[in-house]
Amino acid sequence: MRGLAVAQAELTSFDRQFHARCALQRPDRYRLLDALPVDAPRIARGGGVSYVGASFGDGVVSQSLDAFDRLLAFDAAAGRLTVEAGARIGDLQRFLLGRGWYLPVTPGHPRATVGGCIAADVHGKNPARDGTFRAWVDALVVHRPGEEPRVADRTHDADLFAATFAGFGLTGTISSATLRLARPPHALVLRRVPVASLAEAARVLREAANAPVLYGWHDGGAAHFGRGVVNIGLASSEDDEGAPRVPPASADLPAQVAPLPFPLWNRAGLGAANRWLDWRWRRAGQAPMALAEALFPLNRARLYFAGFGPAGMAEAQWLVPHPRFEAFAAGLAELVTRTRPRIALIASKLFAGVADGFSFDGSGIALAIQVASPGSPGERAFLEALAELAVAHDGRPNLIKDSTLDAGMARRAVSGFDAARARRARHDPHRLHGSELARRLAL
């Protein structure tokens, strides 16, 4: 592919479970973006921070959208921003906060891009209040091989618009989007509510559904399983002068965190970390919280991710409906006691939406469970049993986070999987878009 800025590159998923040597294109102009042979399989690549292999795969040209990060239109009065898909969320928040606006739904990694947030339909700091990313997108432009770019919104080309959210880049390359913005809270105060179990956390989360920031942290060790704290970030009218300013781009978590040569998160390390977190945070109280801290939580997690070592980690994320959650939590506690997996972190969040396609949405409580050395037999067995337990309680997995799922489990766990797959096929009948994720889950 001479002259197309394509070279071979080693690409790795953020959880380090997938590596591939594949063709990486770095187009810096629209002409190059459209220049691949029409029948060449491709996939867009944003920040390269997807936990799973969503932006590369064997036999697929990964098209980096790094250069397509330009602001195309900004309506400062109405709060609308049209931006190219390669723009990084952290950069946008820095730009917008300086002008009295922000994006209310963003993932934790500041290097995620607008295109990536659409393709994954990410959720933010409180999905029950703000929905997922799709709720804040008015329109998008999709490039497909051999076709003119298509503008899609809720009334025009609505099926393509809907399918592109949580479409994992398989409906075409998103080149730009028009985003709706919100006014940021003047200041935040973080209220901490200690909880003894996941069931108690669920009750606290439901009572605080309208908070701008709402999530729980929980001990994943067998001895104190589920114990933790629910963090409720509330808007405050008090001045926030003591809070740190929005950090510069240089403080952003790198796309790839170099692992420590040895895993820090073995049983002893996890036990010590949980004890420290328990002592540090699991106490009732409230304190001012910088919005920057809420928006970029992963910037402080460099050592945490490095600590997984070369074996990496896996994140299982399941959304369980409210009526089934307590039974699911009890089953999970029993499973952890029995199998004693190396769980590094459990986070809980409240959801109040409606699932569409492959999206991670619905009404219930979501648990994100990060497991060290997921390739080890014990951890693998735990993750498989977790998936069975979740499915038995009508749980829905987050496909863009969980690299341990296979096609059979995805099909069983995602209601409407076949319909979503058929919709993807309508928009890419010749399967010109592909990835490791699409191959593994037979999307």
Partner 1 sequence: MTAVVVGASSGLGRALAGELARRGQPLLLVASDARDIEAIGADLRIRHDAVVRCLALDLAREADPGARMTAALEALPPVTSVLLAVGLSRGDDDFGLDASRIGELLAINLHAPLAIVHALLPRLRETRGVVVLFSSIAAVRGRGRNVVYAAAKRGIESMYESLRHRHAGAELRVQLYRLGFLATNLTHGMRLPMPAVEPVDVARVVADRLQRGSARWYLPRRFALVAAIVRLLPWGLFRRMRA
- Contact positions vs partner 1 (CB under 8 A): 2-3, 5-9, 24, 26-32, 67, 70-74, 84, 95
Of 369, 365, 360, the residue nearest 322 (C-alpha): 365
For residues 183 and 190, the answer to whether their CB atoms sit within 8 Å is no
Closest CB 135 distance from partner 1, rounded Å: 24
Which residue lies nearer to partner 1 by CB, 179 or 350? 179
Which residue lies nearer to partner 1 by CB, 71 or 333? 71
Which residue lies nearer to partner 1 by CB, 7 or 419? 7
One-letter amino acid at 282 equals R
Closest CB 86 distance from partner 1, rounded Å: 11
Which residue lies nearer to partner 1 by CB, 83 or 409? 83
Which residue lies nearer to partner 1 by CB, 7 or 196? 7
Q: How far apart are CA 121 and CA 167, in angstroms?
A: 8
Q: How far apart are CA 16 and CA 315, in angstroms?
A: 11
Q: What phi and psi values does residue 267 have, to the nearest 5 degrees?
A: -60, -40
Whole-angstrom CA distances from 363 to 201, 325, 397 are: 16, 11, 13
For residues 306 and 372, the answer to whether their CB atoms sit within 8 Å is no
Which residue lies nearer to partner 1 by CB, 63 or 274? 63
Closest CB 326 distance from partner 1, rounded Å: 49
* DSSP letter string, 99-120: TT-B-SS--S-TT-BHHHHHHH
Token pair belonging to 209: 């559904």
Instruction: Specify burial of residue 59 (Cβ count, 10 A radius: 0-12, 13-18, 19+).
Output: exposed
Which residue lies nearer to partner 1 by CB, 83 or 170? 83
Whole-angstrom CA distances from 256 to 64, 120, 374 are: 15, 19, 18
**What torsion, rounded to 10 degrees, do the Cα atoms 334, 355, 231, 309 define?**
60
For residues 349 and 205, the answer to whether their CB atoms sit within 8 Å is yes
Closest CB 7 distance from partner 1, rounded Å: 2
Closest CB 70 distance from partner 1, rounded Å: 4
Closest CB 290 distance from partner 1, rounded Å: 24
Closest CB 367 distance from partner 1, rounded Å: 40
Q: How far apart are CA 248 and CA 322, in angstroms?
A: 40
